[in-house]
Structure 1
Amino acid sequence: MNETDQISTMDEWVHVGHYPTLEQAYDHGLVILAMGEACRVEEAAVPGEFDLQAEAVPAARISAELDAYGREIAVPMRLPAVGREWARHSAGWSFVGVWILALMAVFYWQGEDATLVDRAASSSVGIFGRNEWWRPFTALFLHADVPHLVGNLVGGTIFATLVSKAVGPLRAWAMILICGTLGNFLTARINYPDAFLSIGASTAVFAALGILSGLGISETMRERARLPWARITAPVLAGIVLLSWLGSGNGSNTDVMGHVFGFGSGLVAGVATGAFEDRRDLPA
């Protein structure tokens, strides 16, 4: 083959694809351009349809790449279970209402009974020294003052409704209260035998935040495409940022350890729930 024939072959355009819309032709053309090869789109014999052309020499390699791309986009994307649940479940406003009334009623009770905090706070000595196992749970309903109460009411309402929409109100509130209780229990256990007291719904609030982060991780890892670790861990990183922003507090009385353990308990519960949903949705 002389030089003239070689140039002629290089300049020859061959058909590598036929598409019903111009958008699809352009999308497949981007694949060719990403390979470092030239391409062009021309109107096909059928009006409204388009042909994709490439140079003759790399045409075989381009066709193979286009076939692989076609198989990849043809695989049906299964919607994440959390996304489907989100569309089905309500925010659980009745549960939120009961929770708000409970916190306000207990706060009023605190004003009437000065011994209530001593009997119901999460106490390391009380739990492990006197076997008062109810304390990690009852402490979630006690608050030091009105700003403490209002802050937990607002944060709890936001995060709890989001969890409710993801997994359903009944399951959401059960998970939030259990993880909040576990957070208080772990905090007391680590501090024992030293005396340690804590009160407030914030442990449950950060448990709800952890559940959301865990569900986000499960949903992300459920995607078929390969994802960088930064994308997979993004939900928990976002949760940690919020935890450090909202949970560190400005005063010495802030139970930072309780916030961390509440968030961690919720994170594990969220990942486990997402994995269970994914397995349940698999075909038999």
Structure 2
Amino acid sequence: MNEKNPSPKNRCQKKLSAFANVAFDPSSCSHQNATLHLWQLLRYFQTMPTRTEPPPETETEASPWVEVAEFDSLAQAYDHGLVILAMGEACKVERDTERGTFALQAEPQPAPKIERELAAYADELSAPASARPFADWAPHDAGWPWIYTWIAALLGSFYMQVQHPTWSDWGASSAIPLFRDLQWWRPFTALFLHADLIHLGGNLLFGVFFTYFVGRSIGAGRGWPLIILCGAAGNALTDWIHYPDAFISIGASTAVFAALGILSGSGVAECWHKRPKLPLARVFAPLLAGFVLLGMLGSSNDPRTDVLGHACGFFLGTIAGAISGFYQHASAPAAAP
């Protein structure tokens, strides 16, 4: 039967039903529709007059409602009412004028399930920040002394290059001297040499950014040795791929992209540890983000850019970061029940 003048209660139920149908029906769900109906629902609640005394219900309008929660403010009741709507159940708010509280009511059949869900929601809100998901993404200090030491080493090495040009010839990563003459130090020393100020400035800028987050995520004492080792190993791997052709490279960029790889690998390990709560796509999202940054920052049309060295540093850093992350979780003490 069509109603020309529906009661406020019926209008409220229709708006709640419309929002639930749009927001939680996979066949018709869209972000815009759900947001629109939620906005209309909240606007309706704000403009809906509050009754001091509920009007008597007729036999046809009477329905059994049970109280599932009680709140001091109307905003709290509406906030928890959205939890019930997310479950696909109906609810309403009634004001107790004597006590000055607001009762959140639901239908009797789903009431026990709703009470458990509201209790879980309350526990989540009251949990300390350290117990919430991803609140411990940065459990360590950045390790600024390590960063300052690295900056000083790069600046000092560049000054020595200017004063003694033969430093580049002696310390550059070169395939033939490394594998034929066994000059093992070259992959390491090449990380501290640069072609010019622009080359040095770019590596300092992105290096500080990535190494800062490596220190925050896995600790500077563990992260910096991995950065240097993966950077040197990336140079050696690049030389091995080019050998026996003559190949020479310098720059800290291999270590910089190793730091990016460490972030990606440790991020995958962290998400894998939380995989019961995350979809598989979210678990490997840090790796995808690392590939995107590698493509944006590590590639160039300049023939002098060592794209292969960047990729090797990132590849080895990702492996090292993943191993470090899994080891960190495996060696962490079990949480108390």
Q: Which TM-score bucket, shorter chain as reference?
A: 0.7 to 0.9
1:63 maps to 2:112:
yes
Q: What is the RMSD of the two structures over their aligned residues, measured on CA atoms?
A: 3.1
CA distance in 1 between partners of 2:260 and 2:307 (Å): 15
Map of 2:263 onto structure 1:
212
1:126 maps to 2:177:
yes
The SS at the match of 2:324 is helix
Identity over aligned residues, as a percent? 46
1:196 maps to 2:247:
yes
Given that 1:117 and 1:142 are in contact with CA atoms closer than 8 Å, whether structure 2 keeps it comes out as yes
Gaps of 5+ in 2: 1-57
Map of 1:275 onto structure 2:
326
How far 1:159 sits from its partner (Å)? 1.7
- Aligned pair in 2 of structure 1 residues 172, 36: CA closer, same or farther (>3 Å)? closer
- Aligned pair in 2 of structure 1 residues 24, 119: CA closer, same or farther (>3 Å)? same
- What is the aligned counterpart of 1:95 among 146, 157, 170? 146
Given that 2:68 and 2:114 are in contact with CA atoms closer than 8 Å, whether structure 1 keeps it comes out as no
Give the TM-score normalised by the residue count of structure 1: 0.81
Amino acid in the other structure paired with 1:40:
K
1:42 maps to 2:94:
yes
Given that 2:218 and 2:325 are in contact with CA atoms closer than 8 Å, whether structure 1 keeps it comes out as no
Map of 1:17 onto structure 2:
68
User: Deviations along 1:121-176, whole A, 9 cap, x unmatched?
Assistant: 22222222222222211110111122111111222122222222333333222121
Given that 1:80 and 1:223 are in contact with CA atoms closer than 8 Å, whether structure 2 keeps it comes out as no
How far 1:204 sits from its partner (Å)? 0.6
* Farther off after superposition, 60-69 or 142-151: 60-69
The SS at the match of 1:60 is coil
How far 1:80 sits from its partner (Å)? 7.8
Map of 1:108 onto structure 2:
159
How far 1:79 sits from its partner (Å)? 4.1
User: Deviations along 1:6-56, whole A, 9 cap, x unmatched?
Assistant: x9698413215124455554344224323443210224598355432223x
CA distance in 1 between partners of 2:304 and 2:132 (Å): 41
User: Deviations along 1:194-249, whole A, 9 cap, x unmatched?
Assistant: 22221100011111122222233333333365323333333222222221111112
User: Deviations along 1:40-88, whole A, 9 cap, x unmatched?
Assistant: 0224598355432223xxx323532542563476476864898547354
CA distance in 2 between partners of 1:121 and 1:11 (Å): 86
Q: How does 1:196-275 map to 2 (within 5 A)?
A: 196-223=247-274, 226-275=277-326
- What is the aligned counterpart of 1:26 among 68, 78, 87? 78
- Aligned pair in 2 of structure 1 residues 36, 123: CA closer, same or farther (>3 Å)? same
* Farther off after superposition, 20-29 or 189-198: 20-29
1:136 maps to 2:187:
yes
1:53 maps to 2:102:
no
CA distance in 2 between partners of 1:176 and 1:111 (Å): 26
Gaps of 5+ in 1: 1-6
Pair member with larger Rg: 2
CA distance in 2 between partners of 1:170 and 1:92 (Å): 8
1:164 maps to 2:215:
yes
The SS at the match of 2:277 is coil
- Aligned pair in 2 of structure 1 residues 219, 42: CA closer, same or farther (>3 Å)? farther
Amino acid in the other structure paired with 2:316:
S
Given that 1:81 and 1:281 are in contact with CA atoms closer than 8 Å, whether structure 2 keeps it comes out as no
CA distance in 1 between partners of 2:209 and 2:193 (Å): 19
CA distance in 2 between partners of 1:115 and 1:212 (Å): 35
CA distance in 1 between partners of 2:134 and 2:258 (Å): 18
CA distance in 2 between partners of 1:197 and 1:10 (Å): 85
CA distance in 2 between partners of 1:175 and 1:83 (Å): 25
Amino acid in the other structure paired with 1:63:
P
Amino acid in the other structure paired with 1:134:
W
